[in-house]
Amino acid sequence: MTAKVSFDATFTSRTGQVVEPVTVVRVIVGGWTGRDKVALQHHIDELAKIGVKAPQKTPTFYRVGVSRLSTADAIEVIGDGSSGEVEYVLLRHKGRIWVGAGSDHTDRVVEHMGITVAKQLCDKPVATEFWPLDEVEGHWDQIKIRSVISDGGRDVVYQDGGVAGLISPAELLACLREDGDELTEGTLMFGGTCGAIGGVRFSPTFHVELTDPVLDRSIAHTYAVLPVPING
């Protein structure tokens, strides 16, 4: 028996939109995907100082239970020690690779004990709209990712950057193959994120955006973060 998550997705291309069911059977989180290796190593060294174990290699691919994938407008988390991070995602559906947007929501308290466990503890929200990768590869570095949080009752831009700071989808997929894996049918992979403005922190809401300024379109998703009390 195979675990799976199904939802209705909107596939938007230059020729129009099609809504059809999608079944995801695997979720992979690509970590440490920065393009600038010097800056990436600096980030790794900084995290090591606060107890986050350095990866054995970069990028690193973390498997997450597919049941953690969520298209809902709210997720539940343990306490207030987690946070989201906007990422582009890649989905193989009907033999074609599609690009979407999601949040690699992670428990930052447990992250110091083990990244894989920390990622598994939180749902992974994704938007239900996707674009064909082959329609954006030619201008990939112009794609933007952005997130907005609620901070003190105000909407605040939390992340704002471009995917140019991350290795390209082609390189990411090549690294995955080198790791002995493939983006097989029904696999969804998170591709990386940019830095948080003002530091990593909890927010009761999280909004993600993926914007293509060349084709003038965007994908967005907003979800509430509902803490479950810690007793004992």
What is the mean pLDDT, run by run of 10 residues, along the chain of 232 residues? 95 97 98 87 74 86 97 97 96 98 94 89 98 98 98 95 94 97 98 90 97 98 96 78
Domain span holding position 67: 5-226
pLDDT of residue 41: 84
Q: Is residue 46 part of a domain?
A: yes
The C-alpha atoms of residue 172 and residue 60 are separated, in whole angstroms, by 10
- Taking only the tens place, the pLDDT of each residue in 125-171 is 999 999 999 999 999 999 999 999 999 999 999 999 999 999 999 99
For residue 185, with 0-12 CB atoms within 10 Å meaning exposed, 13-18 middle and 19 or more buried, which class applies?
A: middle
pLDDT of residue 36: 85
Q: Is residue 23 part of a domain?
A: yes
Q: Is residue 115 part of a domain?
A: yes
Shortest CA distance to 111 belongs to which of 33, 48, 57, 26?
Answer: 48
Q: pTM of the prediction? A: 0.95
Q: What is the DSSP letter of 165?
A: G
pLDDT of residue 175: 97
pLDDT of residue 48: 75
- How many domains would you assign to the chain? 1
For residue 128, the domain's CATH number is 3.90.850.10
pLDDT of residue 216: 97
Q: Is residue 220 part of a domain?
A: yes
How distant, in Å, are the alpha carbons of 15, 55, 168 from that of 50? Answer: 49, 14, 29
